[in-house]
Amino acid sequence: MSETTRISSITRRQLGLTAFGLSALAAGLTACSGGGAGNSPDGGSKTLQLILSGDTNQGGAFAAAAKKYKEATGITIEVVDVPTADITTKLKNAATANDLPALARVTGLDPLWANQLQDLSDIAKSHGIDEKYLQESPDGIIPAIPSDLTAVGLFVNKSLFDKAGVKYPADIGNTWTWDEFIAAVNQVREKAGAKYGVVMDRSGHRLRAMMYEFGSTAFAKENGKYTGDSKAVETLDYFKKINDDQTMPKSVWLSGEDGNAMFKSGQVAAYYSGSWQVADFNKNIKDFEWLSVPLPKKEANATNLGGGFMVAFKDTGADEEARKFIDWFYNDQNYTEFAKTGGYLPVKDLKVEYPFQQASFELYQKQIAGNQAKGDNAIKRVVIEAYAETPFSGDPLREETVKMLSGSQDAKTTVDNIVKLYNGA
């Protein structure tokens, strides 16, 4: 999961409208059909495309939902699972070609197509979606409903900790401090032969959680502008220190080495990642015991939220059919089954009994309930930024931190540069 990729040229609204206008003209001249729906060869019911990424790694929950929907309605939902790195480009190209799918599950909204989304307000209201995860567009619609909730969290290699005789907390009310956590993982390195103490995904989303734990607002907006603070500088200084002393492998942030693969190799004592890993680890880690444990804190028990969004595009030829699928998807029974299959945290008030790792999911729910993060609502922020006038691209927090780790700038300069980039400088 990464910070939403954004567009920076002219203004985002101008680019979106220009691309949309050219696409509509091309469609009119060539009479191309949209990618939203098509009839089956025998003239039967329509097929709707649902473009997403990562379903295979999450137990095929969307594919299972699509199969169940076909059995219930006769309508085919074609789940197109593309690599995470490609979905932004795929949807961008589809928007430019006036060939958007009927449906998508995305981790961020693109300004290029954000104004081409259907209003899902009535569906969100009728199914009791938690209002703190819903954000209106400037036009007063709900353009996206979270499909699931994720939270940054911590995993430990229990086998290594036990071998080293090092303790770890089990309750967020009695969690470890960052200094205690770093001391613990370095003891595991020394006593159990772990190569590294902890690995963190190369993502601003994960680093933002650490900033919250240090008491930072992590570049929240004040009076319409993104701001930095001294706690963000303190966090980055600490982060650089544990990279420089080899508690963490620099190769993840500087060279893009896969933190997930590194943890699954059994060479790392702890992994700072999130709830989306639980299903993968449950299925694929066979050589050692692992556990979800409370996040460390400096000043606050905090995490960073995230997740996917269900969206339905306008004017695809299957607008109403797409809405019907989303309405069906959020039915309590269907949505509970989806959450259980994929190991997803729900965005509505449901008790989900997971078929695996129940304790992990309960810990994440407690971490979310006790979240003391001072910054913006991370779920709403994704939608707000898609419609904002001030553009920025990529993941400034990640990109500037990489520069810091490479030695080209200090923590204070890094924070200053991030603020400038977030504000469109």
What pLDDT does residue 31 have?
33
pLDDT value, residue 37: 61
Q: Give the pLDDT of residue 75.
A: 97
Length of the chain: 425
Q: For the chain, which residues make up each domain, given as ranges?
A: 12-149+307-356, 150-305+390-422
213 with 302: CB under 8 angstroms? Answer: yes
* 9-61 residue pLDDT tens: 333 333 343 343 433 333 333 333 345 666 554 445 789 999 999 998 888 99
Which is more confident, 258 or 4? 258
The residue type found at 226 is Y
Q: In this predicted model, what pLDDT tens digit does every residue of 314-353 receive, in sequence order? A: 999 999 999 999 999 999 999 999 999 999 999 999 999 9
Mean pLDDT over 217-231 rounds to 94
Show the CA angle centred on residue 410, arms to residues 405 and 413, nearest 5°.
Answer: 120
Long-range contacts of 121-125 (CB under 8 A, 24+ apart): 123/323, 123/326, 123/327, 123/330
Task: Provide φ and ψ at 417, rounded to 5°.
Answer: -65, -40
Segment 65-85 shows an average pLDDT of 97
Mind listing the pLDDT tens digit for each residue in 87-132?
Answer: 999 999 999 999 999 999 999 999 999 999 999 999 999 999 999 9
- Euclidean distance between CA atoms 89 and 92, whole angstroms: 5
Q: Residue 151 in contact with residue 368, Cβ under 8 Å? A: yes
Report the pLDDT value the prediction gives residue 391, as an integer from 0 to 100: 62
Angle, helices 84-96/12-30, rounded to nearest 10 degrees: 60
Return the axis-axis angle of helices 230-244 and 411-422, rounded to nearest 10°.
Answer: 120
Helix, strand or coil for residue 136? coil
Strand (E) or helix (H) holding 244: helix 230-244
Q: Is the per-residue pLDDT at 8 higher than 90?
A: no
Q: Please tell me the predicted confidence (pLDDT) of residue 388.
A: 84
The arithmetic mean of pLDDT across residues 162-178, rounded, is 97
CATH number 3.40.190.10 given to 150-305+390-422: yes
Rounded to whole angstroms, the Cα distance separating 354 from 361 reads 8
Fold that domain 12-149+307-356 belongs to in CATH: D-Maltodextrin-Binding Protein; domain 2 (3.40.190)
Matching CATH topology for 12-149+307-356 and 150-305+390-422? yes
- Listed in order, strand segments (DSSP E) in 264-344 are 268-274, 290-293, 305-306, 309-312
pLDDT digits (tens, 9 = 90+) for 131-155: 999 999 999 999 999 999 999 999 9
Report whether pLDDT(424) > 90: no
Residue 264 has pLDDT above 90, yes or no: yes
* Block residue for tokens 């509970």: 336
Residue 6 has pLDDT above 60, yes or no: no
pTM: 0.86
- Rounded CA gap, 354 and 357, in Å? 7
Q: Which residue has the tokens 């700072």?
A: 272
Q: Please give the mean pLDDT across all residues of the chain.
A: 90
Q: How many angstroms separate the CA atoms of 308 and 321, rounded?
A: 21
Considering the chain, what percentage of its residues have pLDDT values greater than 90?
Answer: 83
> Is the confidence at residue 295, as pLDDT, over 70?
yes
Place of tokens 């790392």: 268
243 has pLDDT over 50: yes
Which pLDDT does position 28 carry in this prediction?
36
CB-count exposure of residue 222 (10 Å: 0-12, 13-18, 19+): exposed
Q: Is the pLDDT of residue 229 over 70?
A: yes
C-alpha to C-alpha distance for 99 and 97, rounded to whole angstroms: 5
Alpha-carbon distances, residue 337 vs 90, 133, 191 (angstroms): 29, 21, 43
Chain segment 171-202, per-residue pLDDT in tens:
999 999 999 999 999 999 999 999 999 999 99
Rounded to 10 deg, the angle between the 396-405 and 204-213 helix axes is 80
Q: What is the pLDDT of residue 35?
A: 54
